[in-house]
Amino acid sequence: MRSFALLLVSGIGFPTCLSAATWIVDPAGGGDALTIQGAVDLAAPGDEILIRSGTYQEQVTLDFSLTIRGDSATPELTVIDAEGIRPFCLLATSFSSTTVLQSLTFTGVVADGIPPCGEAALRIFGALEMDNCAVVENVAPLAPAFLNGPAEISNSLFKNNEGTGFDCDGIDPDFASGCIHCLLDITVDGCLFEMNTGYRVGVLSTDSQATIKNCQIRENNGEVIRSPLGVTLENSLVADNVGHLFYTEDLVVILQGNTFANNPELIRAPGIMNILSGSVIYANVFAMNDAGIGVPNGGNGMTITCNDSWGNGINYTGFDPLPGGNFSANPMFCGAQTGNYFVDVQSPLLPQNNSCNELIGALGEGCDAVSADPGSELRTWGQIKNAYR
């Protein structure tokens, strides 16, 4: 069942194999292995594992670069389930490797303190590239996805996960993320984070820099982001969360084109974001939060322009908002009470209705088209945005 790509090297006269084998996992016996681990044991660095749809009740361990993908575009059809009895769904132990994951669901890790105690659904020591996957219903000490290397995660779902903050020996590490903890730089694009809980951070923590764009972050419990070396957050919806926007204070941030709505504890200090010179806050809407935009030092060295801050406990504080074209007006959401943060055709967030001639916030007009409710058929935030942009 294997397939190979061969290159005929000119002047040598014999073919050279370029690590391009694909190994098929089929429990029915129509492939190279009955289990994922069996295929990994056959593979070499740079190979691909193709998994037939089904639920695989196993822990997969590897120590070299490998691509693992489900054969269906629907990740829920190809599931690696730890069943509450295995510490990982997938463990990649090599710091020098790159793990590529596509169209897979990881679930069933439970950190209940009873050996073998759950550690993480994904424990990746090297680099991670993940697309169109789901990490759902895991309970882990530090994070369901605990990553040592740099990471790029796109078009994926994180839902109903928990980072408890206590390891399997009952030791408190001081923080834990409900979804992801990454020790190096991380980029997240087009993902949905919903109903996750963290001991400190509800969604994402990193020891380096975080770039988050085109995402939907809603109904999570815990600080949204911990990123001490800087945060870029673009074109994303942050709504109905309980917890501050940033766990780490005094950092440079770029906030551009986001919708922040119905977050009762969005700002750590009374109306003040503890951000540094060089930060950019551009074309965002802050609506119905505990506070809108507040910055220290009169906003010196910062770019704060074309934002709508309305209906918050405090809309603007610490600087003069008017020179930058900032304003306070009802954004006219289609249905905030039902989770629909698209806007009416008369909304001041639309380019034709404001002096900045910019779309302000993450979403455009959409009241008569489709709801952005998490239960809609559009599962990821990237899919929702693609329907309108």
Chain segment 155-202, per-residue pLDDT in tens: 999 999 999 886 666 555 567 899 999 999 999 999 999 999 998 899
Residue 323, SS3 per DSSP:
helix
> In this structure, is the dihedral angle defined by the CA atoms of residues 353, 357, 361 and 363, taken in order, positive or negative?
positive
Task: Looking at the structure, tell me whether residues 135 and 172 fall in a common domain.
Answer: yes
Say how many C-beta atoms besides its own lie within 10 A of residue 346's C-beta: 11
Question: Which residue, of 208, 240, 273, is where some domain finishes?
Answer: 208
Question: Which residue, of 176, 208, 240, is where some domain finishes?
Answer: 208
Tell me the mean pLDDT in the region 362-368: 92
Task: Looking at the structure, tell me whether residues 90 and 239 fall in a common domain.
Answer: no
> What is the longest distance spanned by two Cα atoms in the chain?
75
Q: What is the pLDDT of residue 385?
A: 46
Task: Looking at the structure, tell me whether residues 237 and 204 fall in a common domain.
Answer: no
Task: Looking at the structure, tell me whether residues 201 and 282 fall in a common domain.
Answer: no
For the stretch 102-158, pLDDT in tens is 999 999 999 866 555 678 999 999 999 999 999 999 999 889 999 999 999 999 999
The answer to whether position 98 is within a domain reads yes
The confidence band for 307, taking pLDDT boundaries of 50, 70 and 90, is very high
Task: Looking at the structure, tell me whether residues 196 and 247 fall in a common domain.
Answer: no
Q: Give yes or no for a contact between 247 and 201, defined as CB atoms under 8 angstroms apart.
A: yes
Q: What is the pLDDT of residue 167?
A: 62
Averaged pLDDT score across all residues of the chain: 88
The answer to whether position 133 is within a domain reads yes
Q: What is the pLDDT of residue 376?
A: 43
The answer to whether position 216 is within a domain reads no
Task: Looking at the structure, tell me whether residues 282 and 318 fall in a common domain.
Answer: yes
Task: Looking at the structure, tell me whether residues 50 and 164 fall in a common domain.
Answer: yes
Task: Looking at the structure, tell me whether residues 134 and 261 fall in a common domain.
Answer: no
Task: Looking at the structure, tell me whether residues 275 and 180 fall in a common domain.
Answer: no
Counted domains in the chain: 2
pLDDT at 383 over 80: no
Q: What is the pLDDT of residue 387?
A: 46
The answer to whether position 4 is within a domain reads no
The confidence band for 243, taking pLDDT boundaries of 50, 70 and 90, is very high
Higher pLDDT, 198 or 371: 198
Alpha helices (H) along 69-207: none
Report the predicted TM-score, pTM, of the whole model to 2 decimal places: 0.90
For the stretch 37-75, pLDDT in tens is 999 999 999 999 999 999 999 999 999 999 999 999 999
Task: Looking at the structure, tell me whether residues 237 and 373 fall in a common domain.
Answer: yes
Q: What is the pLDDT of residue 297?
A: 82
Identify the helix (H) or strand (E) that includes residue 136.
strand 134-136
Q: What is the pLDDT of residue 237?
A: 98
Task: Looking at the structure, tell me whether residues 112 and 255 fall in a common domain.
Answer: no
Alpha helices (H) along the chain: 36-42, 381-386
The answer to whether position 9 is within a domain reads no
- How far, in Å, CA of 132 to CA of 159, rounded? 14
> Token digits for 184?
């190096």
Peptide bond into 116 cis (omega under 30): yes
Q: Give yes or no for a contact between 197 and 223, defined as CB atoms under 8 angstroms apart.
A: no
pLDDT at 218 over 50: yes
Identify the helix (H) or strand (E) that includes residue 163.
strand 162-163
The answer to whether position 24 is within a domain reads no
Q: What is the pLDDT of residue 249?
A: 74
Q: Which domain holds residue 96?
A: 45-208
The answer to whether position 278 is within a domain reads yes
Tell me the mean pLDDT in the region 271-300: 90
**Residue 143 identity:** A
CB-count burial class (<10 Å; 0-12, 13-18, 19+) for 72: middle
Residue 344, CA distances (Å) to 328, 362, 378 in order: 17, 14, 20
Tell me the mean pLDDT in the region 353-377: 77
The answer to whether position 23 is within a domain reads no
Task: Looking at the structure, tell me whether residues 249 and 177 fall in a common domain.
Answer: no
Task: Give percent helix, percent strand, percent coil of the chain, each to the nearest 5.
Answer: 5, 40, 55
